[in-house]
Amino acid sequence: MNGWIILDKPVGLGSTQAVGAVKRVCREAGLGKVKVGHGGTLDPLASGVLPIALGEATKLCGRMLDASKVYDFTIAFGTETAGLDAEGEVVATSDVRPTLAEIEAVLPRFTGPIEQVPPAYSAIKIDGQRAYDLARKGEAVEMKARSVTIHSLRHAGLDPASVPAAVGWTPDQVRGDEGGAGRLESITLTAHVSKGTYIRSLARDIAYAVGSVGHVTMLRRTKAGPFALEQAISLDKLNAFGQGAAQSEVFLPLEAGLVDIPALNLSPEAAGAIRQGRVWTGVSADDGLYWGRDSEMRPVALVEVLAGTLKVVRGFNL
């Protein structure tokens, strides 16, 4: 078992619990003890793509943590909570409700490289302690701004329930602000972000930018690195694997986590050298990162080519 299970994680399940579920199912399927890890924590209140690596694929978990992610998220305006999500006490309120046009006008401010202050309720360590542990104790938590990149940020579609009841409104009226028409209680956005980005902080700052306050009521990860929702399976389908369902219905090969890197075909001699961790010279390929494969198309290693010399970045024991 060297590959991936891409789980569509439901709300309420923690990432560690999801890893435990995969280990249990593998035992039920008679696979014995399998090394398992995940490729990026997803909060219990969030749902969506959680890549879970098995066997040699766990060597790619660090790379998956560094990968960009895509999220759909809903901002509810008028209330800010301590955790910036649907749980936690209310810490601020506002009567201001923005129009769609006002929201769209501020989105460019949050696109590209930005500085972002993480939520106090986060796993960041302060003097050796998790920020959320300090916050839960009622201690003042000073979070330092960090640099992140928002590759894209767009309106994901207007939820009709977020618009005050006014039968017959046109799209132009929803966008406008004549007599208060088109004021939104919430909006759903899609963001493609770099590692280290906190969507809850992004939602908070967008709400501030339109003169209100807000918190996240829905958060769904639709892509993590090369993996998208279309490849994800439900918990029910995962459990079915433990009861005898075909491996092909739940399992992706190790190289599925390498599709965003070019493949490099290795000669038998080069593959043998790379498996031994040796440097190989005389490679006719551009400088950069590749995944080397042998004559049977099996992944041998992540390799780096520099001036015709090939070095091992991470080897696979396949």
pLDDT reported for residue 141: 67
Q: What is the residue-averaged pLDDT of the chain?
A: 86
Segment 65-93, tens digit of pLDDT: 889 999 999 999 999 998 899 888 899 99
Phi-psi region of 297 (alpha: psi -120 to 50; beta: other; left: phi over 0): left
Q: What is the mean pLDDT of residues 122-150?
A: 71
What token pair was written down for 310? Answer: 């090939």
Segment 176-235, tens digit of pLDDT: 444 445 789 999 999 999 999 999 999 999 999 999 999 999 999 999 999 999 999 999
Percent of the chain with pLDDT over 90: 64
56-63: Cβ within 8 A, 24+ apart:
56/2, 56/254, 56/316, 56/317, 56/318, 57/2, 57/3, 57/4, 57/254, 57/257, 59/314, 59/316, 60/254, 60/257, 60/258, 60/302, 60/314, 61/37, 63/225, 63/257, 63/302
DSSP state of 160: G
Q: What is the mean pLDDT of residues 299-313?
A: 93
pLDDT reported for residue 18: 92
Q: What is the mean pLDDT of residues 102-120?
A: 92
**Contact present, 64 and 53 (Cβ < 8 Å):** yes
CB atoms within 10 A of CB 11: 15
Percent of the chain with pLDDT over 70: 85
Q: Which residue has the higher pLDDT, 266 or 33?
A: 266
Q: Which residue has the higher pLDDT, 244 or 146?
A: 146
**Contact present, 186 and 149 (Cβ < 8 Å):** no
Task: Look at residue 174 and tell me whether its pLDDT is greater than 70.
Answer: no
pLDDT reported for residue 118: 84
Q: What is the mean pLDDT of residues 138-161?
A: 77
pLDDT reported for residue 33: 85
**HEC string for 212-226:** CCEEEEEEEEEEECC
pLDDT bucket at 125, cuts 50 / 70 / 90: low
pLDDT reported for residue 34: 87
Residue 250, φ and ψ in degrees, nearest 5: -130, -15
| Residue 286 designated active-site | no
**Contact present, 78 and 97 (Cβ < 8 Å):** yes
* Strands 227-228 and 299-306, sheet pairing: unpaired
Segment 274-288, tens digit of pLDDT: 999 999 998 889 999
* Strands 214-224 and 227-228, sheet pairing: antiparallel
Which one of the listed residues 8, 43, 85, 294 is annotated catalytic?
Answer: 43
pLDDT bucket at 132, cuts 50 / 70 / 90: low
